């Protein structure tokens, strides 16, 4: 379609070259020559050529828009596909505001230029070539005078482009900053309201908005200064052509018809010359956005399936850590971890905040790769698996439960789109979510707001647990998945997990002793190492973090019971 647009435009450009020549003959042969038949015939020919030129321009514009739509769709899809494939580490180091600005604003800018801007640039260059050829044919002497003025216009446009590019770079950076502030505020709106800091947030957003306005006005002010200069040069050029061409016509060096044709050519160059400023500005603006967009597209995926990666239909669920090290930004998080978990075991993982518990478990589905040692599933290094096959064998309930703006049923069945309603209901019952779902306006067809707005933290956790249970993967990871539910609900969920285990390997990360005390084995992680391991009975029998945690929680429970008993006695 792009080639067709160029070909149709070439037809239009050919008309630009021919029409003035015909008009010159209309004046010289028809009017000055007093030949009525030549006047009528050449006028009709000129009219026909103008109609052909108009039709060609329409066809070129139509093809250009068609091409632009195709480019836009392809670029949007490539950017979205890349965002889906980038690893966790990428999102750990970039701000969400930058990603949103890049995916929407920068992509739109590049789309617009690759469709409209490139064609306009090619068209402008083509017009110069065709029209200057016609001008030389009409009068080489006049052409030199006109091009001297046009050269000044090109110089102005070039200088303008060099100055405006850093202005657009500053604007894009500020746009990303404003998006980041807005995104953070919306995600943390409950915290804002809890601390009554609305006015402070409004002022902060207003300050960023004012700065963005200044960044946006800078290139506009520059253009406002450059455009009058371009118009002045255009006027000077017109006067030069009329004055010098008039003298040549009086001397008899050129005919009046040729002068008219030359002036037509010159006026056809005025608009492209003016447009140079716009094109240069678009090039500068697009170059900034293109650097960001293509920087994203060139970003290494990092974690992907190896060539011929193993596709395991039936994963038993044995997990081995062999000398595992993890480092983020050259900072060691986990060092020299060795552990073996048999298929079907339920393993508790406890430890202080920031000790590396989640990092260890994130290695199993390859959200990150170990920087040293290896993690094996069923005796095979996870890096040798086909990535989709590996992740289909692992279900995870993250610390921060996420729900999509969709129905309850679709949220639970997100990882199992072929599950029927009965299976969804069964998973909801095991996750202790069934009762509160029935209380919703449309039960399982109730649409949940963005990120589960309107639901309590415990309700969101139970829905994400149901999602993981429904998938029935060989390995289940519960990363502090019941921290927001009460102990009785947690107990019922654990009973359901044991019933549904059926050989499933389950990792339970928690700071609650009640969540891990019935596990087959408990790993105590501290400072990136496995500090202790054993059953609940074994760990509380010896000094260490686990027994300290147990003593603290038992003491808290006893104090709570004592307070309750005292309150009841006082009430009696």
Average confidence score pLDDT of the chain: 81
Whether the per-residue pLDDT at 572 is higher than 60: the answer is no
**How many other CB atoms are found less than 10 A from the CB of residue 80?**
12
pTM: predicted TM-score of the whole model, two decimal places: 0.68
CA 58 to chain centre: 35
For position 524, what pLDDT does the model report? 92
CATH 1.20.1560.10 assigned to domain 2-297? The reply is yes
Could you tell me the pLDDT band of residue 389, with boundaries at 50, 70 and 90?
confident
Whether the per-residue pLDDT at 376 is higher than 90: the answer is yes
Q: Report the percent of the chain where pLDDT is more than 70.
A: 90
User: What tens digit of pLDDT does each residue of 447-472 get?
Assistant: 887 666 778 888 888 898 899 888 88
The domain segmentation of the chain, as residue ranges, is 2-297, 319-545
For position 130, what pLDDT does the model report? 79
Whether the per-residue pLDDT at 508 is higher than 70: the answer is yes
For position 319, what pLDDT does the model report? 92
State the Cα–Cα distance between residues 522 and 532, nearest whole angstrom.
Answer: 8
**Nearest residue to 506 via CA among 459, 541, 465:** 465
State the Cα–Cα distance between residues 571 and 190, nearest whole angstrom.
Answer: 36
Helical ranges in 413-456 per DSSP H: 421-430, 434-438
For position 568, what pLDDT does the model report? 62
User: What tens digit of pLDDT does each residue of 50-107 get?
Assistant: 888 788 778 777 777 777 777 777 888 888 888 888 887 887 778 777 787 788 778 8
Could you tell me the pLDDT band of residue 313, with boundaries at 50, 70 and 90?
low
- Give the least confident one: 400-404, 480-484, 563-567: 563-567
Over residues 389-405, the mean pLDDT reads 86
For position 115, what pLDDT does the model report? 62
User: What tens digit of pLDDT does each residue of 189-234 get?
Assistant: 767 766 678 888 888 888 888 888 888 888 888 888 887 887 788 7
Three-state SS sequence of 305-344: CCCCCECCCCCCCCEEEEEEEEEECCEEEEEEEEEEECCC
User: What tens digit of pLDDT does each residue of 512-568 get?
Assistant: 888 888 888 999 998 888 989 999 999 988 998 888 888 888 776 666 666 666 666
Over residues 434-456, the mean pLDDT reads 83
Over residues 395-410, the mean pLDDT reads 86
State the Cα–Cα distance between residues 555 and 160, nearest whole angstrom.
Answer: 74
For position 502, what pLDDT does the model report? 65
State the Cα–Cα distance between residues 429 and 399, nearest whole angstrom.
Answer: 21
Residue with more model confidence, 263 or 65: 263
Q: 24 exposed, middle or buried (CB, 10 Å; 0-12, 13-18, 19+)?
A: buried
Q: Class assignment of domain 319-545?
A: alpha beta
Over residues 254-275, the mean pLDDT reads 78
Query: Computed from CA positions of residues 210, 216, 220, 221, in that sequence, does the dihedral angle turn out positive or negative?
Result: positive
For position 79, what pLDDT does the model report? 85
């Amino acid at each position: 379609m792009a080639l067709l647009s160029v070909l149709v435009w070439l037809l239009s450009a050919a008309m630009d070259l021919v029409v003035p020549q015909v008009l010159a003959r209309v004046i010289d042969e028809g009017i000055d020559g007093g030949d009525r038949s030549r006047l009528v015939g050449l006028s009709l020919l000129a009219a026909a050529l103008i109609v052909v030129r108009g039709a060609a321009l329409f066809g070129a514009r139509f093809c250009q828009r068609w091409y632009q739509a195709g480019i836009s769709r392809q670029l949007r899809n490539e950017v979205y596909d890349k965002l889906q494939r980038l690893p966790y580490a990428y999102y750990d180091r970039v701000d969400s505001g930058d990603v949103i600005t890049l995916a929407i604003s920068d992509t739109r800018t590049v789309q617009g230029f690759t469709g409209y801007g490139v064609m306009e640039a090619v068209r402008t260059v083509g017009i110069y070539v065709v029209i200057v050829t016609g001008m030389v044919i009409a009068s080489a002497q006049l052409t030199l005078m006109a091009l001297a003025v046009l050269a000044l216009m090109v110089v102005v446009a070039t200088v303008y482009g060099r100055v405006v590019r850093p202005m657009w770079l500053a604007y894009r950076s500020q746009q990303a900053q404003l998006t980041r502030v807005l995104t953070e505020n919306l995600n943390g709106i409950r915290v804002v309201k809890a601390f009554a800091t609305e006015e402070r947030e409004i002022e902060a957003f207003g300050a960023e908005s004012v700065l963005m306005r200044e960044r946006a006005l800078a290139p506009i002010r520059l253009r406002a200064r450059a455009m009058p200069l371009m118009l002045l040069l255009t006027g000077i050029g017109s006067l030069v052509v009329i004055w010098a061409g008039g003298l040549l016509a009086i001397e008899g060096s050129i005919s009046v018809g040729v002068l008219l044709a030359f002036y037509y050519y010159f006026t056809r160059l005025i608009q492209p010359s003016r447009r140079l400023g716009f094109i240069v500005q678009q090039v500068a603006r697009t170059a900034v956005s293109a650097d960001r967009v293509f920087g994203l597209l060139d970003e290494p995926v990092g974690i992907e399936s190896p060539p011929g990666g193993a596709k395991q239909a039936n994963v038993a669920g044995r997990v081995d850590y062999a000398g595992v090290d993890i480092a983020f930004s050259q900072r060691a998080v986990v060092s020299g971890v060795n552990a073996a978990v048999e298929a079907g075991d339920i393993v508790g993982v406890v430890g202080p905040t920031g000790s590396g518990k989640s990092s260890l478990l994130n290695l199993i589905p390859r959200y990150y790769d170990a920087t040293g040692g290896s993690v094996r599933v069923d005796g095979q290094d996870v890096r040798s698996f086909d990535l989709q096959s590996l992740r289909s064998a692992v279900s995870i309930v993250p610390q921060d439960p996420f729900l999509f703006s969709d129905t309850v049923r679709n949220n639970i069945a997100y990882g199992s789109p072929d599950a029927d309603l009965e299976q969804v209901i069964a998973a909801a019952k095991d996750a202790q979510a069934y009762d509160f779902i029935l209380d919703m306006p449309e039960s399982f067809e109730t649409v949940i707001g963005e990120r589960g707005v309107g639901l309590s933290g415990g309700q969101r956790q139970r829905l994400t647990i149901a999602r993981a249970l429904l998938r029935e993967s060989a390995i289940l990871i519960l990363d502090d998945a019941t921290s927001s539910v009460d102990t009785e609900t947690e107990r019922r969920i654990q009973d359901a997990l044991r019933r549904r285990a059926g050989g499933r390997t389950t990792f339970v990360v928690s700071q609650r002793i009640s969540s891990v005390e019935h596990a087959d084995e408990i790993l105590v992680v501290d400072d990136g190492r496995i500090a202790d391991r054993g059953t609940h009975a074994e760990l509380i029998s010896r000094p260490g973090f686990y027994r300290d945690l147990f003593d603290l929680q038992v003491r808290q429970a006893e104090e709570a019971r004592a307070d309750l008993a005292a309150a009841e006695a006082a009430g009696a």
